[in-house]
């Protein structure tokens, strides 16, 4: 295997300068590209001992919630916004179930660009809405779901000078390939199985391309089986037809007509994997398991990858990577709805001991 990043500065704490600098030779950037970065990528690949025991395999979690805006979207956004800056764009736009809007808002602010986001009214997690607003995006809640918002966004460049930063922008997919590079760099080769949630299907498309390109470049010797998981009420690829009114508690993947549909089915079939559905109950059960047993607080949509792994199982001793796409703090309402928030007690020792049953 060839060493390609020998120019990296070294030291006890080597500075991570973001994924464009780390993986420049695989990305559509040149010396003329102004790099807009929040030092995204380089996220932990955490061994999951209890999950491994439960499924009889060696399972690692790719913690994409550790990116600067709390989701994997930053990987594609650093490239998309850098390229938009290179082209002289003044404004970017996206449709989003929340995370893309948070990431676009942050990177656009960094680049000094205007940003407009279209989100489905009433179906976006509170943290994501807060992020888009606090980073200064123009937030439009549309009366409709993600799919209709994306239809409008696709057409906007024909009416106004804006660049679309949804994953229909190929620079987004290019940046998201780096997740696969990092996994191979840490494990020394590709895993046997790669589990990932599927919404608009850009990420599974990007990971598969990433594994292919990294192998072609001599960094790995094999390819994983790509297992994609949709929520049962929003499972167009599994059903083989668009879903008019998708419904799931995992609002990030509440999508009825994925833009990268073909990319997902190609990844699944070429790799010998598949796209399957998991119920909201299975997603929530995996979400609680990850938080209580592995100390990883992820989004409900992210937990779909682990729900799928638990549901389908894998051959014994397989090496598995589950991508946990976003941080649990994105959706505090969902977290709290799963629990009972205890009442307040008086601020004195007796009351505290009694409340703790001590």
Told to check if 328 binds ligand F0G by CB under 6 A, we report no
User: In this structure, are residues 158 and 189 in contact, taking their beta carbons and an 8 Å threshold?
Assistant: no
Query: Based on CB atoms, which residue is closest to ligand F0G, 98 or 191?
Result: 98
- CA neighbours closer than 13 Å in the CB half-sphere of residue 316: 0
Kindly tell me the sign of the dihedral angle through the C-alpha atoms of 174, 180, 183, 188.
negative
Told to check if 201 binds ligand F0G by CB under 6 A, we report yes
Question: Binding to ligand F0G (CB under 6 A): which residues in 302-321?
Answer: 302
Q: How far is the CB of 34 from ligand F0G (least distance, A)?
A: 25
Told to check if 301 binds ligand F0G by CB under 6 A, we report yes
User: In this structure, are residues 93 and 163 in contact, taking their beta carbons and an 8 Å threshold?
Assistant: yes
Q: How far is the CB of 199 from ligand F0G (least distance, A)?
A: 3
Only one residue has tokens 């601020």, namely 347
At 90, list the tokens.
């003044």
Q: How far apart are CA 250 and CA 328, in angstroms?
A: 11
One residue of 236, 299, 308, 309 binding ligand F0G per CB under 6 A: 299
Instruction: Name the DSSP class of 63.
Output: E
Contact string (CB under 6 A) for ligand F0G, positions 77-96, x = contact: -------------------x
One residue of 67, 145, 200, 318 binding ligand F0G per CB under 6 A: 200
Only one residue has tokens 């989701």, namely 71
One residue of 61, 165, 198, 234 binding ligand F0G per CB under 6 A: 198
Told to check if 253 binds ligand F0G by CB under 6 A, we report yes
Told to check if 71 binds ligand F0G by CB under 6 A, we report yes
Among 183-191, 199-207, 309-317, 339-347, the segment contacting ligand F0G (CB under 6 A): 199-207
User: Count residues contacting ligand F0G (CB under 6 A)?
Assistant: 22
Told to check if 98 binds ligand F0G by CB under 6 A, we report yes
Describe the crossing of helices 73-86 and 99-111 by its angle, rounded to 10 degrees. 40
Told to check if 197 binds ligand F0G by CB under 6 A, we report yes
Q: How far apart are CA 22 and CA 31, in angstroms?
A: 14
CA 299 to chain centre: 10
Instruction: Name the DSSP class of 129.
Output: H
Only one residue has tokens 């696709």, namely 154
Query: Based on CB atoms, which residue is closest to ligand F0G, 123 or 225?
Result: 123
Residues that bind ligand F0G (CB under 6 A): 71, 73, 96-100, 167, 197-203, 252-253, 299, 301-302, 325-326
């Amino acid at each position: 295997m060839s060493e390609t990043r020998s120019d990296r500065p070294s030291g006890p704490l080597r500075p991570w300068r973001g994924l464009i600098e780390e993986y420049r030779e695989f990305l559509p950037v040149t010396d003329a590209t102004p790099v807009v970065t929040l030092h995204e990528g380089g996220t932990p690949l955490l061994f999951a001992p209890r999950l491994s025991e439960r499924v009889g395999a060696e399972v690692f979690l790719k913690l994409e919630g550790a990116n600067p805006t709390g989701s994997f979207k930053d990987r594609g956004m650093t490239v998309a916004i850098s390229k938009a800056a290179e082209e002289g764009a003044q404004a970017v736009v996206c449709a989003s179930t929340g995370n893309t809007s948070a990431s676009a808002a942050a990177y656009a602010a960094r680049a000094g660009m205007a940003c407009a986001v279209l989100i489905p009214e009433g179906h976006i997690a509170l943290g994501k809405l807060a992020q888009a607003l606090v980073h200064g995006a123009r937030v439009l809640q549309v009366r409709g779901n993600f799919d209709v918002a994306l239809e409008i966004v696709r057409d906007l460049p024909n009416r106004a000078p804006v660049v679309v930063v949804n994953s229909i922008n190929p620079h987004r997919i290019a940046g998201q390939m780096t997740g696969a590079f990092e996994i191979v760099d840490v494990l020394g080769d590709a895993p046997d199985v790669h589990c990932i949630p599927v919404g608009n299907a850009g990420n599974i498309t990007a990971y598969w391309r990433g594994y292919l390109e990294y192998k072609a470049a001599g960094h790995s010797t094999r390819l994983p089986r790509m297992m994609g998981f949709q929520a049962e009420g929003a499972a167009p690829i599994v059903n083989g037809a668009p879903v008019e009114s998708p419904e799931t508690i995992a609002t990030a993947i509440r999508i009825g007509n994925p833009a990268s549909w073909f990319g997902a089915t190609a990844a699944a079939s070429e790799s010998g994997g598949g796209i399957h559905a998991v119920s909201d109950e299975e997603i929530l059960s995996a979400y609680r398991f990850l938080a209580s047993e592995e100390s990883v607080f992820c989004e409900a949509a992210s937990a779909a990858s682990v729900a799928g792994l638990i549901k389908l199982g894998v051959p014994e001793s397989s090496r598995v990577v589950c991508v946990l796409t976003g941080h649990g703090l994105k959706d505090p309402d969902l977290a709290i709805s799963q629990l009972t928030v205890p009442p307040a007690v008086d601020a004195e020792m007796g009351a505290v001991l009694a409340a703790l049953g001590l």
